[in-house]
Amino acid sequence: MNQTKIQELRQWMSEQQSDLAYISDPGHIAYFSGYSSDPHERVLALFVPLNKDPFLFTPALEVEDAQNSGWAFDVVGYLDSEDPWKKIAHEITTRYGNPQKISLEKNALTVDRFEKLREYFSADFSTDVTPVIQRLQLIKTKNEINTLLEAGNWADVAFEIGFGAVKEGAKEQEIVAEIEYQLKRRGVSSMSFDTLVLTGDNAASPHGNPGSTAVQAHDLVLFDLGVIWKGYCSDATRTVAFKEPTAFQKEIYQLVLDAQLAATAAVKPGITAGELDAVARKVIEDAGYGEYFNHRLGHGIGTTVHEYPSLVEGNDLVIEEGMCFSLEPGIYIPNKVGVRIEDCVYVTKDGCQPFTTTSKELTIIE
């Protein structure tokens, strides 16, 4: 549970004269409460009033897990046979009276859920709590960084397993299966996104789908993966060669590596997110491959795999100590080659440190 951040949320609520915040995004609920869960179609919610104790609202089958997660306040469960909205309305009125201004997460609440809420409350729902949560999440605490380091360590373990599974004829999906199987056997309960293993032409698509393409000699193999560990995500990419790569593959690889290292060296408090993107992009543009680096340099990471800051052209957000984000330049030339190298880092007082330590020099698997 993150008491400090709950207090900071309340500070904002007080400025907005909002008497209740309804947090609905599971990643944001995990951020404040420490309870991480995917509720699927069921209702999972965190209600934070201005002056009284907050409570978690979960499916009945999750109450015990939520209570054991380190959350210090009440957990209210509902059965599948109950109407969750009726129960939520009852809990809110009993605990907090009749709130006049309820802040919502406008990009995480469906219209039908909003309408249910409106059936029970005639409050002012105009304030959006999403931007303030995004701002709070920008700067990570020491504890959060330690957990992100542990999550990053699991990504390093995943690379080791994945590299070990690369052999002539191995299909992308088989390598994915091996990585996830081995991690789960070792106690990782979930990946932070579907593991990507792409080879041959497939690697030239930044977010391709692993399938039945088999690894062949002189192919590059791209691994993009991460886990969720104690509610925090890792996300890292390595591209390796199977058997001696061609001179062209080596050239492209070196260029992406130079861009990644230049961006890493440029990270320090005071530089802007857009300037970091430009540092990496310049390396690739100067070599004539600018059009093939067709996505932003990076994104923030925390309880969700993509959060703020966005390292994108034109973003003048100033980088501060404690921010955590990916640095992931890539070059994707259709039907020819695909290389991406990604580390997530945390900003220190004069630079940055990575969450993943797997070598970024071109690894050649024999």
Q: Nearer Cβ to Mn ion, position 237 or 239? A: 237
Q: Least separation, in Å, of the C-beta of 326 and Mn ion?
A: 4
**Alpha-helical regions (H) of the chain:** 3-16, 26-33, 63-67, 84-96, 111-120, 130-138, 142-164, 172-185, 247-266, 273-286
Q: Which stretch binds Mn ion (CB under 5 A): 21-29, 140-148, 237-245, 286-294?
A: 237-245
Quick check: 260 binds Mn ion (CB under 5 A)? Answer: no
Query: Which position among 326, 329, 339, 341 is part of the footprint of Mn ion (CB under 5 A)?
Result: 326
Q: How many residues does the chain have?
A: 366
**Alpha-helical regions (H) of 34-165:** 63-67, 84-96, 111-120, 130-138, 142-164
Contact 52, 65 (CB under 8 A): no
Q: Nearer Cβ to Mn ion, position 62 or 342? A: 342
Residue identified by tokens 């207090």 is 7
Q: Nearer Cβ to Mn ion, position 104 or 176? A: 176
Binding residues for Mn ion, how many (CB under 5 A)? 4
Quick check: 224 binds Mn ion (CB under 5 A)? Answer: yes
Quick check: 343 binds Mn ion (CB under 5 A)? Answer: no
Q: Using DSSP, state whether 97 is helix, strand or coil.
A: coil
Quick check: 213 binds Mn ion (CB under 5 A)? Answer: no
Q: Which stretch binds Mn ion (CB under 5 A): 60-68, 133-141, 221-229, 289-297?
A: 221-229
Quick check: 25 binds Mn ion (CB under 5 A)? Answer: no
Q: Which stretch binds Mn ion (CB under 5 A): 23-31, 150-158, 181-189, 219-227?
A: 219-227
Q: Which stretch binds Mn ion (CB under 5 A): 9-17, 157-165, 209-217, 326-334?
A: 326-334
Chain-centroid distance of CA 221 in Å reads 23
**Cα end-to-end span (Å), the chain:** 47
Q: Which helix (H) or strand (E) holds 225?
A: strand 219-225
